Amino acid sequence: MPRYAPRYANDPSAVKSLVEAERVHRDVYTDPEVFDLEMEHLFANTWVYVGHASQIPNAGDYLTTEIGRQPILASRHTDGSVHVLYNRCPHKGTKIASEPCGNTGKFFRCPYHAWSFKTNGKLLAIPFKKGYEGTGLKESGAAEGLAPVGASHVYRDFIFARLAETGIEFETFFGDSLSSIDNMVDRSPEGRLVLEGAPLRYMHPCNWKMLVENQTDTCHPMVAHESSAGTAISVWEREEAKGGKKPMAVEVYAPFMAPYEFFEDMGLRVWPNGHGHTGVTTSIHADYSAIPGYFEAMSEAYGEERAKEILGENRHNTVYFPNIMVKGPIQTLRVFKPIAADRTLVESYTFRLAGAPDMLFERTLMYNRLINAPTSIVGHDDLEMYERAQLGLHADGQEWVNIQRLYEPGEEADVTALAGGTSEREMRNQFHAWAKFMTASMEEPAGERVHEAAE
């Protein structure tokens, strides 16, 4: 239950008042009413990640997920096209698919009354159909089959969807931020990623935005991870004197203990609509050991100069607003799924670079296991901080959360800009987008709302 009587619904000015230039009100993390409005407005009016086309390579393949609170189904049709649909039978509302993924064959069949649908969602058949003769079924919404989402788009095999029927277009929403996806895909000698294995799923007792903010928070690694990464490095330093090659795990851990100056110098970039990344000049992934045969394969595919250009771009974490992060150099993707105001499910996926040596995928798997798994070492440090923050925000001594680091009065929003690597500008950028997309559909008539908000 909300701590106060409802005060934000249908009041865009009240929602906007939660975000100021260099601080945000605690209600954005703690108030169930604000969370409900996010599910209704934010996740409907932005482009949200659904899945990867390599998860559904064959006709009849499907995957299920959620956008906000909406159950979603993505399927591969017989002509090879990908369709993003609401996972709901138009008859009685039963979920069509209950498994995370699978192959339905030539059609979907509702488990309740056996209505069947083509893999593009179109109605195929109804048992004992003569019972609907003369009822007007053909003119009803049910006759149209599984409802498609407002809009969907596949970009280099990454599937995105917008629930709202009208709104900001895909290219406008993402703009130049798509360069991070480009770089991750281009790291494959074949220009293709394959999502392999089930995701690591990890429940967090905190608001989803805390996890998104953390992806570009570079002032916490050397503090929060000292007990884990710091300890692992200390153990290695004692063993290093005995000789031997530095283990891959130590290469993964070591950059977490870099000083503030390293993270400041690596830089940060923001893009319009809440997107941004750390690691403009370098990153914690820049000094991994070379994998035998990889550069040769890249040079053969792209030419030596282009191969150097691709592999020389070592971005740290790229946040795609509202709720995913990709790591191009290590080929991982994390989805932050909101469950409640104080509960978030994190899914961490790994990709294989098609045509690249297996050792690269081994490093990706190791990174994901050591950093992002429920059984990880580093991830538990972050979990502890999120939980403490979620609890601490209920203290009445201070109602505002500060995001002022390296803030400059008059700082422009919705622009492409560079900042120091320890800046909190990307957090400010996210909250500007949050307020914009939260309130656009409250302020404008349907069909005009998000277009104007994006201008």
Written as one string, the DSSP assignment of 220-247 is SHHHHTIIIIIHHHHHHHHHHTT--PPP
Classified by CATH at the fold level, domain 48-160 comes out as Rieske Iron-sulfur Protein (2.102.10)
Angstrom distance (rounded) from CA 344 to CA 203: 6
Angstrom distance (rounded) from CA 415 to CA 421: 17
Residue 443 reports pLDDT greater than 90? no
Predicted pLDDT at 306: 98
- When pLDDT is cut at 50, 70 and 90, the band that residue 249 belongs to is confident
- In the predicted model, what is the mean pLDDT of residues 342-353? 98
CB count in 10 Å sphere of residue 250: 17
Predicted pLDDT at 358: 97
Q: Quick one: CA torsion of 190, 369, 277, 352, rounded to 10 degrees?
A: 10
Residue 8 reports pLDDT greater than 90? no
Which structure tokens are listed for 212? 């998104």
Q: What is the rounded average pLDDT for all residues in the chain?
A: 93
325 contacts 334 by C-beta, under 8 angstroms: yes
Predicted pLDDT at 376: 87
Residue 373 reports pLDDT greater than 80? yes
86 contacts 66 by C-beta, under 8 angstroms: no
In whole angstroms, how large is the CA radius of gyration of the chain?
A: 23
Residue 263 reports pLDDT greater than 90? yes
Residue 448 reports pLDDT greater than 90? no
Strand-strand pairing, 101-103 and 123-125: unpaired
Predicted pLDDT at 4: 52
Please tell me the least confidently modeled range out of 169-173, 184-188, 411-415, 451-455. Answer: 451-455
CB-side exposure of 230: number of CA atoms within 13 Å? Answer: 12
CA separation, residue 267 to residues 97, 270, 390, 424, 431 (Å):
44, 10, 28, 11, 20
Predicted pLDDT at 5: 59
Q: Provide CATH 2.102.10.10 ranges for the chain.
A: 48-160
Residue 386 reports pLDDT greater than 50? yes
- In the predicted model, what is the mean pLDDT of residues 354-380? 93
Residue 444 reports pLDDT greater than 70? no
Which structure tokens are listed for 346? 């994190």
Q: Per residue in 209-223, pLDDT tens? A: 999 999 999 999 999
Residue 254 reports pLDDT greater than 90? no
Kindly report the pTM of this predicted structure.
0.94
Residues in the chain: 455
- Cis peptide, bond prior to residue 329, ω within 30 of zero: no
Q: Per residue in 85-111, pLDDT tens? A: 999 999 999 999 999 999 999 999 999
CA 56 to chain centre: 19
Residue 1 reports pLDDT greater than 60? no
Angstrom distance (rounded) from CA 371 to CA 376: 5
Predicted pLDDT at 335: 98
Residue 449 reports pLDDT greater than 80? no
- In the predicted model, what is the mean pLDDT of residues 183-204? 96
Angstrom distance (rounded) from CA 322 to CA 337: 10
Task: Determine the angle formed by the axes of helices 304-312 and 294-302, rounding to 10 degrees.
Answer: 120
Angstrom distance (rounded) from CA 34 to CA 16: 11
- In the predicted model, what is the mean pLDDT of residues 391-408? 96
* CA-CA-CA-CA torsion sign (288, 289, 294, 299): positive
Please give the biggest Cα pair distance in the chain: 86
Determine the CATH number of domain 192-435.
Answer: 3.90.380.10
Predicted pLDDT at 239: 80
- In the predicted model, what is the mean pLDDT of residues 107-131? 96
Q: Per residue in 278-287, pLDDT tens? A: 999 999 999 8
Predicted pLDDT at 2: 46
Q: Per residue in 297-311, pLDDT tens? A: 999 999 999 999 999
- When pLDDT is cut at 50, 70 and 90, the band that residue 452 belongs to is very low
Angstrom distance (rounded) from CA 43 to CA 385: 26
Q: Rounded to the nearest 5°, which phi and psi values hold at 292? A: -55, 130
Predicted pLDDT at 251: 86
Q: Provide CATH 3.90.380.10 ranges for the chain.
A: 192-435
